[in-house]
């Protein structure tokens, strides 16, 4: 098969490849690395801003463009944009060693900042600086990876830190407000519903008239349970994602 775009004629700078294997064949697109991250976060939607060249390759470095037959066989379509989107969303970013280290440093800093914001020392009621969290994670041999969002890795690290207690650490409390709707408040099950809600709160402030509301601190792990309870019965509003509880 003739090569549509010989490698000697492709002028790509600051290139990163995204690679996806499909039906034992390798497909690649040439991208700007930072734009790939923006695309995956939904910040960048224009493919021409993400791609260095609007083509699908079997091998970018050799300039070997994928044939229509291979695209149809492996993806079930010849729509180049649809296939590029699948590669960008599902493929593995190929980074140089320098790019990989820069990305790891960025993800690590984001992760440590998130953990520092969301967690406290239960004894001092103070947040840990990122440097101390970094040291604790090193002792636990927890290292960030490139292909996973910093927030998700931060939540995994928090679970590990809390379970190990290599340093005294707990999640900071979340401050929320729940307002029951009139139908739920007037139903025969309202007492049971109120009990279900209030058991998750730490020293809640409750107002019963004219509409039942409850404001206070909860453990963040309880948030999903409360969302499920409030579904169809009322609204839940997050007032503060991480509050230090000084009441004790």
Residue 107 sits in a domain whose CATH number is 1.10.10.900
Say if residue 57 is exposed, middle or buried (CB neighbours under 10 Å; 0-12, 13-18, 19+).
buried
67's CB contacts (< 8 A; 6+ apart) are 1
- Answer with the one of 94, 127, 151 that is the final residue of a domain: 94
- pLDDT, residue 105, reads 92
Tell me the pLDDT band of 189, cut-offs 50, 70 and 90.
confident
Residue 178 and residue 139 share a domain = no
CATH code of the domain covering residue 82? 3.30.1250.10
- Is residue 126 domain-shared with residue 104, that is, in the same domain? yes
Antiparallel, parallel or unpaired: β 57-59 and 119-120: unpaired
Residue 2 lies in a domain: no
Report phi then psi at 171, rounded to 5: -70, 140
Q: Are residues 102 and 90 in the same domain?
A: no
Same domain, 11 and 90: yes
Residue 165 has pLDDT above 90, yes or no: yes
Is 117 domain-assigned?
yes
What per-residue confidence (pLDDT) applies to 7?
39
> Is a pLDDT exceeding 60 seen at residue 18?
yes
Average pLDDT over residues 18-44: 87
Tokens of 170: 């707990």
| 151 and 186, same domain (yes or no) | no
Does the pLDDT of residue 145 top 70, yes or no?
A: yes
pLDDT in tens, 74-122: 999 989 999 999 999 988 888 777 878 888 899 999 999 999 999 999 8
pLDDT of residue 10: 47
Q: Which domain holds residue 72?
A: 7-94
- With cut-offs at 50, 70 and 90, classify the pLDDT of residue 216: very high
Secondary structure of 59-126 as H, E, C letters: ECCCCEECCHHHHHHHHCCCCHHHHHHHHHHHCEEECCHHHHHHHHHHHHHHHHHHHHHHEEECCCCE
Asked whether residue 132 carries a pLDDT value surpassing 80, the answer given is yes
- The mean pLDDT of 147-171, rounded to a whole number, is 92
pLDDT at 154: 95
Picking from 171, 200, 235, the residue at the C-terminal end of a domain is 171
For residues 37 and 88, the answer to whether their CB atoms sit within 8 Å is no
Count of structural domains within the chain? 3
Write out the DSSP string of 140-184.
TT----TTS-HHHHHHHHHHHHHHH-SS--EEPEEEEEEEE-HHH
> Strand pairing partners for 26?
21
Residues 11 and 66 in one domain: yes
DSSP-derived 3-state class of residue 57: strand
Q: What is the pLDDT of residues 50-70, one digit of tens each?
A: 999 899 999 888 888 999 999
Q: Same domain for 177 and 199?
A: yes
Q: How confident is the model at residue 188 (pLDDT cuts 50, 70, 90)?
A: low
Total residue count of the chain as it appears in this document? 248
**Which pLDDT does position 2 carry in this prediction?**
43
Q: How confident is the model at residue 6 (pLDDT cuts 50, 70, 90)?
A: very low
pLDDT value for 9: 42
pTM of the model as a whole: 0.62
Residue 217 and residue 201 in contact, taking contact as beta carbons nearer than 8 Å: yes
Q: Is residue 1 part of a domain?
A: no
**Which residue, 150, 171, 192, sits at the end of a domain?**
171
Does 54 fall in a domain? yes
104 lies in the same domain as 166: yes
Name the strand (E) or helix (H) holding 224. Answer: helix 223-230
Whether the CB-CB separation of 26 and 58 falls below 8 Å is answered with: yes
Any domain includes 180: yes
End-to-end, the C-alpha distance of the chain in Å comes to: 74
């Amino acid at each position: 098969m003739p090569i549509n775009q010989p490698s000697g004629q492709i002028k790509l700078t600051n290139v990163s490849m995204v690679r996806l294997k499909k039906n034992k064949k390798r497909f690649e697109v040439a991208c700007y690395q930072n734009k790939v991250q923006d695309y995956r976060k939904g910040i960048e939607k224009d493919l021409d801003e993400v791609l260095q060249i609007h083509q699908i390759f079997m091998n970018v470095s050799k300039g070997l463009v994928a044939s229509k037959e291979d695209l149809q066989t492996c993806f079930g379509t010849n729509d180049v944009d649809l296939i590029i989107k699948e590669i960008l969303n599902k493929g593995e970013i190929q980074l140089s060693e320098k790019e990989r280290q820069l990305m790891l440093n960025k993800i690590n800093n984001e992760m440590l900042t998130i953990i520092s914001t969301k967690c406290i020392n239960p004894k001092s009621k103070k947040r840990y600086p990122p440097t101390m969290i970094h040291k604790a994670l090193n002792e636990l041999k927890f290292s960030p990876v490139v292909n996973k969002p910093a927030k998700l890795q931060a939540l995994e690290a928090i679970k590990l830190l809390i379970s190990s207690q290599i340093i005294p650490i707990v999640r900071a409390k979340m401050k929320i407000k729940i307002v029951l709707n009139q139908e739920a408040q007037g139903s025969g099950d309202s007492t049971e519903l109120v009990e279900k809600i209030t058991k998750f709160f730490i020293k809640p402030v409750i107002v019963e008239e004219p509409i039942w509301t409850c404001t206070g601190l909860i453990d963040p792990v309880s948030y999903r349970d409360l969302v499920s309870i409030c579904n169809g019965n009322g609204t839940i509003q997050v007032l503060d994602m991480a509050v230090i509880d000084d009441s004790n």
